[in-house]
A and B are shown apart, each in its own frame.
Chain A
């Protein structure tokens, strides 16, 4: 086919016309997402079932299906059953944002549960905010974000390492080496960790970042061998994390002399690397499978027996996702009581979600509540040590729920309030990402 300039211009014109067209009819259509009593309540479930992110995200999808089954058996949300619309984001950020539009416009879901990485969250937030919709982001992240359309049920960077660093300094010594994957979450987490380290009187010997997905830890481990820290603080994620723990042992490091204190190495990772490589190391998380309380026992047993429990374990990320379903239930019911079932919008749910509590009887990690300003979660971080069988023994739990603070290390930027980011000069900016 020969493309003349004229033909090209014509085609381009047509294409841009086609691109513009949907916007003409979309808004009115989208607003009319009226709910009808008796019809199931549609929610979007947006995780990757294939590709590099499938390992954690497939489990998130399964645990949400379990949670909605449980909720539906107990009478549903506001008297109607929940119908999850499950889509595969294929570990591709373009697909994330495409599917978000599809869920909002075509499926007319009332809320979206999704994303595991900050990159995918940032890919879909513009759409979510533009449509004034609602995203439940059910895992840990770095903070430094203040939108009026998200609710997060995982720990923020300021909660995550607050207890872990002083605990490690007290028990193993002052000298620490930071290792992380090379992207935003580890870097921001390490900024927080440095503040805790300074307060605990520790000393940072070195800080190294490994490309995401890399499995070569030889050079880093050689540097650690030379630096001789008392412990390692790790924010390495995914497959790299498993390679890191394996090579740590293969290179002759001894866990009792220099344990790894991690923010990510949980039950799933330990199973994948083999418990002998995980044993002795530490993890900070709000949830462990071995938490000893009746709610957690019911959750673990129920989930593993259900058709969704095929991976054979529960995990902090899965529990945080499970909680998000209950936060949604309470938020929706509160909104329905205030404005009437038919008039509930994503906006109304979010407006009524501040201060929502998930009580001990429902929450496997124990009581949590949603902050009424920044809509992250008050929770108790716990420290677990991996045992020889791959389960974790809880060695320390926070005395009280820790407040989430997305801008803890950036006081100059402002404070996240429910109306937007409030700068020190009093100006409020909405939807800061």
Chain B
């Protein structure tokens, strides 16, 4: 049996490198889930490539016993684009953070999504700069006190999923570091989607920004604060599924309603449709505590990925041009003999 045919075990994906994240960091949980999911994807280990930029999350490739490239700040998406273009057989994963992907690398994130490069982009969002010791990030809430903003940050935060949808991403999802089962299912979906798959993962930085996602993560309150998305199912939440989201067609926005009150029934609720971009945008914009936080696949509407288009165009050119002889190219056009 060749190496490619052998079923990969989780331990095969653990590299011999000592993991160097802070004890208690959410990255540990994500790493474990990724290592658990990868063997299920039917991809030979030698075809797995993890590319990262700079930041805590970007150390990720060192801990995966696959091909990996720890590149420079903000540019992982561009390096990954080159990898995929050079060899479309490879299964490319980009691991990045809120600073890496949305601040210094914002431009590349925008373009890798709109170009629909076939890769999975995992954005570990902890709303803070960890590796540089705690400065506020482009996803930090207004008023975040940090070494660079001792009196509180002033600028409006970016919402990663809204950004991704706006950039033209065809797959946008959100999950949580410690929700292993949910995260695993989202990762499988992201991998199944052919094209650029954007996954925002709420990740707790217990050193510089501890507990910012507590309202969503806390098991006791989760039922009331999370909206678990399922394609074709009505948008319901609450401990007894007693609440839902209804479209206010006058104000053109979602509103929370109580089922059974004022004659509201499940038929009045919005049914989740992953292919509806307008709905995806509305969901991405829902903010706590007024609304529950949507978790799951917000948007999935596949189209042909970039590398397919590139190589199809090339095939078409090859059909048109008969020769691939360089000597012929050099002599093509106007020549003369002396």
Determine if chain A interacts with chain B.
Answer: no
B residues sitting closer than 8 Å to A (CB atoms) are none
